[in-house]
Amino acid sequence: MIYEEKTKSKIQSSILEEKKQHGYLWLLFSYLKKHPGFGILIFILSILGSAMAVSIPLLMQQTLNCLRLGNGATTTFVIWQFAWQDWVALQLVFYVVLAIFIFTRNIAVGKLGKDIEIFLRNETLKALIKQDISYYSNQKIGEILTKIGADTWLIGEQTRQIPTMMLMAVFNFIGSAIVLIFIDWKLGLISMSFVLFGLSMMFFFLKRVRMWIGRLRTTITYVNGDITDRIGVIRLIKASGTEEYEKKRFQEIHGDFYDTVKKFFKRLSFVLTGAFLTIMSIQLIVLSSAYGFYSNDLQHLVIIATTFIAGLGTMTSPIFLLLRFAFGYMMANECTRRVHQITNSKPRFDAHYYKGEGKELLQIDKDIVFHEVSFNYPEKPEVNVLPNFNFTFEKGKSYAFVGETGSGKSSIAKLLLRFYDPTEGKILINGEDNLKDLNLKSYLDKVGYVEQEPQIMFGTAKENIMYTSPNASEEEVIAAAKKANLHNLIMSWPNKYETMLGERGFMLSGGQKQRLVIARMFLKNPQLLILDEATSALDNIVEKEIQAELDKLMKGRTSISIAHRLSTIKNVDQIIVLARGLGVVQMGTFNELKNQEGHFKNLYEAGLMKEEKAVKE
Ligand SMILES: Nc1ncnc2c1ncn2[C@@H]1O[C@H](COP(=O)(O)OP(=O)(O)OP(=O)(O)O)[C@@H](O)[C@H]1O
């Protein structure tokens, strides 16, 4: 039950967070403000459509009147005299025009819905890409996916219905009230007051359903997030034999969803039954009132009853229209708030990603300087990971960071990639440009990053190699793959460079994935290379082969390696030794440090890089 408790409290805090965001009507009207054509067209078609729909009982009344008056009798239409056949023909014309209006309006709202959906998706993706990396520290990918996929889809679908239903409900009610009062003012007023009473009762009960709709969306998002998370670690589940445990856990997590669904449907059924009873009773009340008023004139009673039943259909339609509108609106409202939660969350810093933002960097052709840099993770501000650090990475030289686990080696790479900004001090590119002020894309275009878990996307081998060099030619891709010793392997695959690679490189071995990333780097030809434990997940033999490719790649570029293995660091120009909580404690070449009393020697002798020693022995 522990998971259920945790789930409940997380869902509760999400709901509170979502409540602060703008809702659906704000989204709709701000979109229509930018694209007024849609709004005007839908408004005009709805008002004309409703006017025609509510006029039909009047035409019917005139038809019946002509029939009652006898053969060849006519009544007046504007300035013309119409016989019953003319009235019937006019009704047919109304039906055809109404059908054209409904058709055009459906196309307009369909397009509006899809446009809003696509607009929201783009905005969400833009916001997600702009976020700094710390945003993802406490977000479940599955929850984000539900918001981008399901929520925006639902908003788009509801947009096809909400504006039309809202306008139709209002116009149909006003229009049919006028027509029914015109036909018979006493019965018209009775009908109108009962419909108004029905509507207000409905809103009263709908308010109680509202909170359950929000809860339903948030709960399912949480469940989806959890499922995506677990599918992401399917290898762990398979390797641990925890299928039974996972099954039970899902059942528990679904418990809250199930409870919410039950409560929601109970309230929904209550409201729907209420609406049905209201409509039935209005018809009965009107019919009995009609009988009360006209029982002495049976012919008039029949005409009144027939036209009123047709007119009442239009007048009571707002009850069902508003019901559908209200559910659609409440759903769309919750979804909009959740999507806005993403689009409105501001990154911790401005990365100057886009053209024209920040200073454009043309080359990294001088030193990179860490000036008085000190760093605490914003997620854990109380812990100082890197105390005051001054260092100059000279152009074209190679550097390696070593240190025990948690000493801050990877944090250096994250600062250099501007995943984070230093808490104090600055990183100067070319010895003078603060990394914070640069256009980040212009800088990252010149940086190559190889990490321990290579990032491979679902796509072909060629697309993966070209990812950071989209304009490369086929020959350049092949040349890069050859340099990374990958070409022969790719050529042995049935579809060669067009072979699809599974998500996260599922179909490749660790060494193959690493080679693919190295090929990507050869193609990119970066001026600064960051290798974050690039070979630590590989076995010794593969590691040696990959290290050889990396050495080729590092030649002539400024390179910064984060290393566990001796082979990675023994040839670099300078090793920087970090200690947990102390920052930099030693610097020097491998030969200098190996023989010097200090942290490096301790690490070396304590077994760091032991594989290499073992191989040597
Ligand atoms: N996103 C984060 N938020 C808060 N603290 C973090 C975050 N990432 C890392 N840390 C903490 O910062 C410290 C340094 O982490 P870092 O990953 O730089 O160490 P490392 O030397 O690369 O370790 P390893 O050799 O195990 O990879 C660790 O104590 C770690 O728990």
Structure confidence by residue, pLDDT tens digits, 73-84: 888 877 788 888
Ligand 1 atom with the smallest distance to the CA of 401 is: 21
Average pLDDT, rounded, for the chain: 83
Report the nearest-CA residue for atom 29 of ligand 1. 406
Tell me if 517 sits within 8 A of 450, measured CB to CB: yes
pLDDT tens sequence across 120-130: 999 998 888 88
The sign of the CA dihedral 57, 61, 67, 73 is negative
Report the nearest-CA residue for atom 31 of ligand 1. 406
**Ligand 1 binding pocket includes 26 (Cβ within 6 Å):** no
Report percent pLDDT > 70 for the chain: 92
Report helix angle 298-343 to 24-34, nearest 10.
90
- Please, how many CA atoms are within 13 Å of residue 191, restricted to the half-sphere of its CB? 35
Report helix angle 84-130 to 152-183, nearest 10.
150
Q: Could you report the predicted ipTM of this complex, rounded to two decimals? A: 0.96
**Ligand 1 binding pocket includes 452 (Cβ within 6 Å):** no
Cα–ligand 1 centroid distance for 233 (angstroms): 21
Candidates 174, 195, 185, 184; CA nearest to 54 is 174
- Comparing 604 with 18, which gets the higher pLDDT? 604
pLDDT at residue 142 tops 60:
yes
Query: Residue 350 in 3-state DSSP?
Result: coil
DSSP letters along 4-40, please?
HHHHHHHHHHHHHHHHTS--HHHHHHHHHHHSHHHHH
Cα–ligand 1 centroid distance for 407 (angstroms): 7
Q: Which CATH architecture has domain 20-343?
A: Up-down Bundle (1.20)
**Ligand 1 binding pocket includes 565 (Cβ within 6 Å):** no
Helix (H), strand (E), coil (C) string for 148-178: HHHHHHHHHHHHHHHHHHHHHHHHHHHHHHH
**Ligand 1 binding pocket includes 250 (Cβ within 6 Å):** no
The sign of the CA dihedral 248, 251, 252, 253 is positive
- Comparing 502 with 458, which gets the higher pLDDT? 458
Q: How far apart are the first and last CA of the chain?
A: 54
User: Could you tell me how many residues make up the chain?
Assistant: 617
Q: What's the whole-number mean pLDDT along residues 550-569?
A: 80
Q: Phi and psi for 355 in degrees, rounded to 5?
A: -55, 135
Domain with CATH 3.40.50.300 in the chain: 355-446+565-617
| pTM over the 0.80 mark | no
Res 96: pLDDT: 92
Tell me if 277 sits within 8 A of 322, measured CB to CB: no
Mutate to test the pocket of ligand 1, among 374, 385, 416, 568 (most ligand atoms within 8 A of CB): 385
pLDDT tens sequence across 423-441: 999 999 998 889 999 998 8
In whole angstroms, give the CA distance from residue 192 to residue 184.
Answer: 12
Q: Which of 298-312, 506-520, 537-551 comes out lowest in average pLDDT?
A: 537-551
Q: Report the phi/psi class of residue 370: left, alpha or beta, with left for phi > 0 and alpha for psi in -120 to 50.
A: beta
pLDDT tens sequence across 349-389: 777 777 778 888 898 888 999 999 999 998 888 889 998 88
Ligand 1 atom with the smallest distance to the CA of 411 is: 18
The two three-digit tokens of residue 225, written as one number: 């997030």
pLDDT band of residue 615 (cuts 50, 70, 90) is very low
Res 256: pLDDT: 75
Q: Which of 10-14, 434-438, 551-555, 586-590 comes out lowest in average pLDDT?
A: 10-14
* CA 588 to chain CA centroid, nearest Å: 48
Cα–ligand 1 centroid distance for 470 (angstroms): 33
Domain with CATH 1.20.1560.10 in the chain: 20-343
**Ligand 1 binding pocket includes 419 (Cβ within 6 Å):** no
Please tell me the CATH code under which domain 355-446+565-617 is placed: 3.40.50.300
Query: What is the bridge-based pairing of β-strands 398-403 and 574-579?
Result: parallel
Candidates 160, 61, 154; CA nearest to 108 is 160
In whole angstroms, give the CA distance from residue 591 to residue 579.
Answer: 19
pLDDT tens sequence across 51-71: 888 788 788 888 888 888 877
**Ligand 1 binding pocket includes 498 (Cβ within 6 Å):** no
Res 4: pLDDT: 55
Res 116: pLDDT: 92
Mutate to test the pocket of ligand 1, among 377, 379, 564, 580 (most ligand atoms within 8 A of CB): 377
